[in-house]
Amino acid sequence: MHPLQWVLQVQRSLGWGPLASVSWLSLRICRAHSSLSSTTCPSPERQEDGARKDFSSRLATGPTFQHFLRSTSAPQEKLSSEVEDPPPYLMMDELLGRERKVYLETYGCQMNVNDTEIAWSILQKSGYLRTRNLQEADVILLVTCSIREKAEQTIWNRLHQLKALKTRRPRSRVPLRIGILGCMAERLKEEILNREKMVDVLAGPDAYRDLPRLLAVAESGQQAANVLLSLDETYADVMPVQTSPSATSAFVSIMRGCDNMCSYCIVPFTRGRERSRPIASILEEVKKLSEQVIRPPQPPKVLGLQGLKEVTLLGQNVNSFRDNSEVQFNNAVSTNLSRGFTTNYKAKQGGLRFAHLLDQVSRVDPEMRIRFTSPHPKDFPDEVLQLIHERDNICKQIHLPAQSGSSRVLEAMRRGYSREAYVELVHHIKESIPGVSLSSDFIAGFCGETEEDHVQTVSLLREVQYNTGFLFAYSMRQKTRAYHRLKDDVPEEVKLRRLEELITVFREEATKANQMSVGCTQLVLVEGLSKRSATDLCGRNDGNLKVIFPDAEMEDVNNPGLRVRAQPGDYVLVKITSASSQTLRGHVLCRTTLKDSSANC
Ligand code: 5AD
Ligand code: SF4
């Protein structure tokens, strides 16, 4: 069911008219109770009684249908420095953070890391402060993941710990507010509020702009929620705040949501329909990042402070990008799917596609590496592969989630390709981009997976020889097609045994693939000190593999005769001397630039 339908259905079942948002819905529930008890929702914070009474009287002049429409269509062009106009039941200053301290905790994928930065950017503009100390926090927000049951269980456990923190909070301090953001808020909706009474705020992935209002409502002791999904929200105008100021790389969100409806996956239900961010705003963000300064621990001796050196374009199906934001974009030449691949949805027409975006982004700064994740194998037309091959600063690294090596299972998963089509694509990619580094996702023990299907997945791992892999045991999710139509019939212990086998084979093959780099000279972007040794530095090669090398003096190619030590954000050439399934080791030869580098493999 569409989330909007969900809201309306609950409203109808309660006999109400259209509502402003679910927060309004939860407030109305409180009012319904209050007519019995003549109070608003019970709250443990008695000292807020006055504020709540005042709030309740303002509630009587609650939002109109117009406000509902306004708050769901999230304007893209709004100035980010502006604070939202307050809804009729809140005062302007109640929308402000008034220096309350927010503690943000992120679970799950890179999209959630980016969402955390978006949420923080919005709250910062409303006058909240950020704290990294849980004990200091006035507001704790968990950015959550629903992809597998285990991910959700981690959040429930964390909520139990936070409950203790909330109960122990001295009365002399402002009450602690707890919020659940992201996929779990979207999937479970009011079930979270009912199960965990200590949760004050729920905000789905498209509702972060509403956080100041939701927190303002929560301040009065009410629970507040907005889990409406949007057809156009991309947070295009919200510049995420980089959480780690020393980072050499940044993530730039280019699209949200997913229309693929793979039968095992909850993402289309938690993150909604696929929509792309306008190219102009992506380019603007990449330009800003290229000019953003990294502050290394010690002042670098020659290059001076430098801009960020790596951007990863981010999206649920990053290469399905399609900017339709301007009418003339619809005349663009249409691009094909990868050969032998189909979609679960009706063919989409027009718009500026991923190859165009990649071309534009890679031109912003030739010294900035470009990566992208996570793509779908169906959207690798030749123009994308060609561009990756030709452009020095587009990394020769492709994530190609296969999910299974059995055509039968792939069909049950509704992936839109057979094993043969996938293998053909792999060969085509390897021919088009010599030296390309490949990674993949696999699920062990999907509904109906036989031993023979599993053997086929093992053989695919051997055939492709991925450099990196992400392997998971299947976890049935409610709402998905598999939940409604298939049987989760592979016993847990069999799933885990198959997963172990996949991990072992993947490691053996990745070690072999990575050992091909031994003896090569590779260009490495320095990240900083190695976590395991204070005398080693750590960086990433073009294929995104970790490279460890001793922190030693070296020559700077652009300043002959000068001896330098590598700093975060420097490009260095490293001679690779050994390799494992996850790391390369070597010794540093010189400092260089991406343009001038002479990496030999
Ligand atoms: N169970 C296990 N793994 C899953 N993934 C997605 N849904 C499930 C599920 N229900 C995996 C897929 C996807 C990755 C992000 O998570 O491999 O590519
Ligand atoms: Fe989930 Fe499939 Fe969409 Fe990936 S492409 S997010 S696996 S539905």
Residues 14-32 pLDDT 10s: 222 222 333 333 332 332 2
Q: Are 85 and 126 in contact (CB under 8 A)?
A: no
- Tell which phi-psi region holds residue 272, choosing left (phi > 0), alpha (psi between -120 and 50) or beta: left
Q: pLDDT: is 48 or 119 the higher one? A: 119
Q: What is the mean pLDDT of residues 235-256?
A: 83
H helices then E strands: how many in the chain? Answer: 18, 25
- Amino acid type, 74: A
pLDDT > 70 in the chain, percent: 81
* Cα torsion angle, 572, 575, 580, 581, sign: positive
Assign 246 a pLDDT band (cuts: 50, 70, 90). Answer: low
Q: What is the mean pLDDT of residues 485-504?
A: 98
Other beta carbons less than 10 A from residue 57's beta carbon:
10
Q: What's the pLDDT at 31?
A: 29
Give the Cα separation of 203 and 576 in Å (integer).
47
Assign 225 a pLDDT band (cuts: 50, 70, 90). Answer: very high
Atom of ligand 2 nearest to the CA of 415: 2
Q: What is the mean pLDDT of residues 141-149?
A: 97
Task: Determine which residue's CA is closest to atom 1 belonging to ligand 2.
Answer: 265
Q: What's the pLDDT at 243?
A: 57
Distance 242 CA to ligand 1 centre (A): 27
Distance 37 CA to ligand 2 centre (A): 47
In tens, the pLDDT along 5-15 reads 333 333 323 22
Return the ligand number nearest the Cα of 317.
2
Q: Are 222 and 201 in contact (CB under 8 A)?
A: no
Give the Cα separation of 50 and 146 in Å (integer).
38
- Copy the structure tokens of residue 213: 């209002």
Distance 109 CA to ligand 1 centre (A): 11
- Copy the structure tokens of residue 54: 């005042």
Average confidence score pLDDT of the chain? 85
Q: Check whether 296 has a pLDDT greater than 60.
A: no
Q: Check whether 549 has a pLDDT greater than 80.
A: yes
Residue 558: which residues within 8 A CB-CB, separation 6 or more?
302, 591, 592, 593, 596
Q: Check whether 359 has a pLDDT greater than 80.
A: yes
Q: What's the pLDDT at 25?
A: 34
CA-based nearest residue to 370, from 280, 245, 251, 514? 251
Distance 262 CA to ligand 2 centre (A): 6
* N-terminal to C-terminal alpha carbon distance within the chain: 50
Give the Cα separation of 87 and 534 in Å (integer).
54
Atom of ligand 1 nearest to the CA of 475: 1
Binding site membership of 147 for ligand 1 (Cβ less than 6 Å): yes
Q: Check whether 462 has a pLDDT greater than 90.
A: yes
CA-based nearest residue to 152, from 140, 144, 162, 142? 144
Assign 598 a pLDDT band (cuts: 50, 70, 90). Answer: confident
Return the ligand number nearest the Cα of 261.
2
Distance 257 CA to ligand 2 centre (A): 9
- Greatest CA separation for the chain: 84
Q: pLDDT: is 25 or 412 the higher one? A: 412
Atom of ligand 1 nearest to the CA of 482: 10
3-state DSSP call for residue 370?
Answer: strand
CA-based nearest residue to 318, from 132, 465, 510, 109? 109
Assign 261 a pLDDT band (cuts: 50, 70, 90). Answer: very high
Atom of ligand 2 nearest to the CA of 258: 3
Assign 60 a pLDDT band (cuts: 50, 70, 90). Answer: very low
Other beta carbons less than 10 A from residue 534's beta carbon:
8
Q: Check whether 369 has a pLDDT greater than 90.
A: yes
Q: What's the pLDDT at 306?
A: 59
Q: Check whether 456 has a pLDDT greater than 70.
A: yes
Q: What's the pLDDT at 10?
A: 30
Distance 471 CA to ligand 2 centre (A): 15
* Cα torsion angle, 555, 558, 561, 562, sign: negative
Return the ligand number nearest the Cα of 472.
1
3-state DSSP call for residue 469?
Answer: strand
Q: Where are the beta strands (DSSP E) in 431-520?
A: 437-444, 468-473
Distance 267 CA to ligand 1 centre (A): 9
Q: What's the pLDDT at 271?
A: 97
Atom of ligand 2 nearest to the CA of 374: 4
Q: What's the pLDDT at 434?
A: 96
Q: What is the mean pLDDT of residues 345-358?
A: 90
Assign 546 a pLDDT band (cuts: 50, 70, 90). Answer: very high
Q: What is the mean pLDDT of residues 213-233?
A: 94
Return the ligand number nearest the Cα of 404.
1
Binding site membership of 258 for ligand 2 (Cβ less than 6 Å): yes
Q: Are 241 and 117 in contact (CB under 8 A)?
A: yes
Q: Check whether 40 has a pLDDT greater than 50.
A: no
Assign 428 a pLDDT band (cuts: 50, 70, 90). Answer: very high
Pairing status of strand 397-399 against strand 369-373: unpaired
Q: Where are the beta strands (DSSP E) in 245-395?
A: 249-253, 255-256, 275-276, 293-294, 306-307, 310-314, 322-323, 352-353, 369-373
Residue 75: which residues within 8 A CB-CB, separation 6 or more?
none
Q: What's the pLDDT at 294?
A: 58
Q: pLDDT: is 308 or 424 the higher one? A: 424
